[in-house]
Structure formats: C-alpha cells, structure tokens
Chain A
Amino acid sequence: MPEAEAIRLAQQGNAPAFERLYRLHNRRVYSLCLRMVSNTAEAEDLTQEAFLQLFRKIATFRGESAFSTWLHRLAVNVVLMRLRKKSGTEASLDEMTEPDEESGGPRRDFGGPDLRLSGSIDRVNLQRAVEQLPPGYKSVFVLHDVQGYEHNEIAKIMECSIGNSKSQLHKARMRLRELLHEALRDKAREDRKAASEGSGGED
C-alpha cells in the first residue's frame, strides 16, 4: 500500500493503514528518540506517544508538508516536552540551548595540535557527549548529522528558520568537540595516574 493511500485510509480509521504508516516510519522515529534520550525503554515510550499523537491528528493532515516531516515534528516535540518535563523547566525550544552562548564561535580554546580527536572518537564517547548537549542542539545535531536531514527540512520540523538551524548545528558541533576534548583529557589524566600507580606498586 503506497504511503498516500495509507494516509487516506488511516484518515478513515482503517487499521491496516495505520499499521502500514507505523511500519514505514517507526524505524526513523524510534532511532531519533533513542539518540535523544539514550534509553531504550524511554525511546519506546516516546515512539508510541509520537505515533499516538500522529494518529489522533491524522484526520487534520492536508499534505501541506511531507508526511514524514509532520511526523518528525511531532516526534521532536514529544521528546523535547519530555526532556523539558525532566529538567523541570518551562523554556521554549529556542531557549533549550546554552543561554550563555552569544555567538557561533567557540567558547574556550580551540584545542592544540596535540589534542586532535581524529582516531579517538568512537560510538561510545560520541554518544556520551551527545547526551550532554542541551536538547535544542541535540535535536538539530541528530536530525542533520545522524539522520541526514537538510536544514530546510529541519527548519520545518523544528519550526525555526534555516539560519537558526545552521547556527544551532554549528554550536552543537563545537560543543561536542569541547566535550570530547574534555573526555580525552580526563582519560589521559586517568591513564597517567594509573601508570604512575602501577610503577609505584612495582617498587
């Protein structure tokens, strides 16, 4: 069943059409949720919530935007609402970034040539760094760099300008770089400590 037909039938309450839409899109929505919250149980819950909201509102879908964009907008909102609830803040989506950051420029040092990340980034430490990003940065980073959306699509999903999407992505990447450098420095420090303790123990 093609997507357009599934949408039309789902609008009439057809059960197989709902399932078809779910099967077509659940992978991307679930992955988005998982990257945003880093917890499978919570990601499942959020995926269910996003589709539930979608199916509740499907009768109002008129096709002005792509169905997947509409669904992703719902999913991102569901995730951000959850993160907002968790942090106990009532901030708007725009405020879900780092308030002290004024420009897209880096906040601290740029990292010397002795501290390049190349070769030291893996899935685990990047995921850890992503977890520490403010929700707004995280959304744009996951949508663009992980899921491959273009800025014009992200602007529709996040209901912001294309410039805003670009700016958020830049800040997200720079912040990730900082976090990864911090992790690298911590690890180097721990290694040195372990080495000195090891050599001390042999004496």
Chain B
Amino acid sequence: MATDRCKDFLGRLDSWIAGERPAEAKAHFRDCASCQAVVEDLNAIQIEARSWRQLESEAPERVWTALRAQLEQEGLIRAEQPEREAAPVASSLADWLSAVFARIPRPALAGAYLSILVALGFALSGPVNQPSNEAKWLEGTRVVSSPISAQLDNFEQNTSLANRDRNPAITASLHQNLAIVDNYISLCEKSVQEEPENEVARDYLYSAYKQKADLLAQIGERGENVQ
C-alpha cells in the first residue's frame, strides 16, 4: 500500500538508484515491500534497456545512397571529379552505355533510358521521304537500335537476376510483361524493315522500346526498394 513515505522515497528515487542512501530512506526501503518492488522493477527495466545498445546497427546503405543523391541535387556537395575523369572513354555506343549504366544508381535508370530513347527518337525521325535515303536510313536505324536493343536485353537479364530470389511473384510478372513487350518490339522491327519509309512503324518501334525501358526501370526501382 502506498503511503506518504513511499511517495517521498519514490520522489528521490533517482538519487537512490544513483547510490545515495540517506538513513531515513534506507530505513523505509528496508521495511517497505512496495518500494522494494519498484526499485527491483526499475532495475530490471534499465538492464533490459541497456542491452539494446548491443543491438544497434548501421542504417541500410540505401539511406546513404538516397541522402547523397539529395545532397547532390541540392548542390550541397561537389561531385567527385577526379573519379569521373578517370573513367575510360568508351569507343562505341554499346560500351558507352555499359559504362554509364555500371556507374549510375538503379533508380536513376529510368531517366537514363528515357534520355537514350529521346536520342533514338531523333535518329528514327530522320528524313525518309526521299527514296535515295531509304537504304541509308534503314542502315542507320540498325546501327542505332541494335546496341540499344542489346543494352535493354542486358539490363533485362541483370534486373531479372537481381529480383529472382527476392520475390518470385515479381519475377513471374516480369517475364510475362516482358514477353508481351518483346513480341511487340519484334513486330515493330519487322514492320520497319519491311517499310522503312513508314513513319508510323518507326513511331511504334520507338514506343515499344520506350515501354520496355520503362518496364525495366520500374522493375529495377522496385528491386532497389525491396533490398
């Protein structure tokens, strides 16, 4: 049963726990089961709480990745110039894309792919009305679209591998959706080969690549979030 003496004692509990033992408090504590129980309980709480310190862990690496991206975006930190200057100069479009994709974080891939696709869009929107340009244009289309197609395939493999063990449902959905988009790309490529002068066919091909890029980038980002 709580008494005024108990209240006095508990009011100075910090001192008691810190080791101060005034005679009056000592006498009360010796005779009061209620206050003994409080002290015992608080000690048990403290011991358990202290043990949590050993459980402290680093924040996941994605926190730093996101933080750094935010700091760079806000212009609070300078990019590491020497490292970038040391990067090898790519000799072909495919090598250049590999180098870029190897260095940029996955969430940024959506933007990177869109940039490529804008470039592809420019390449595919060249003059085609003149018959003499047709063969040249078709060859140009192959030169531009083949490495991009290869890069998309490469990224598809990496994304698929990265997500495979984490979530089988995502992997299954990934394969299903990519199969649809790949069929669509095949049809579009065939149309462009058959009718290189057809602007609509080129637009469809561009749209198909874009869909695949968007899908892969989304999957990549999702994989990043799952980690």
Contacts and interface: CB of A to CB of B under 8 A. Distances in A.
B24 interface: no
B79 interface: yes
A118 interface: yes
A110 B6 contact: yes
A118 B46 CA distance: 11
B48 interface: yes
Of the listed residues A15, A27, A126, the one surrounded by the most CB atoms of chain B closer than 10 A to its CB is A15
B6 to A, nearest CB: 7
A145 B49 contact: yes
B35 interface: yes
What is the size category of the interface that chain A forms with chain B? Answer: 35 or more
A27 B58 contact: yes
Interface in B37-69: 37-38, 40-46, 48-53, 55-60, 62-64, 66-68
Given A44-B59, A121-B48, A148-B53, A116 B41 contact: yes
17 contacts: A14-B78, A18-B71, A18-B77, A19-B68, A26-B64, A29-B59, A43-B59, A56-B74, A110-B37, A116-B37, A117-B45, A122-B48, A126-B45, A141-B49, A145-B49, A169-B14, A170-B14
Interface of A: 13-16, 18-19, 22, 26-31, 35, 43-44, 47-48, 51-52, 55-56, 103-106, 109-113, 115-119, 121-123, 126, 141, 145-148, 166, 169-170, 173-174, 176-177, 180
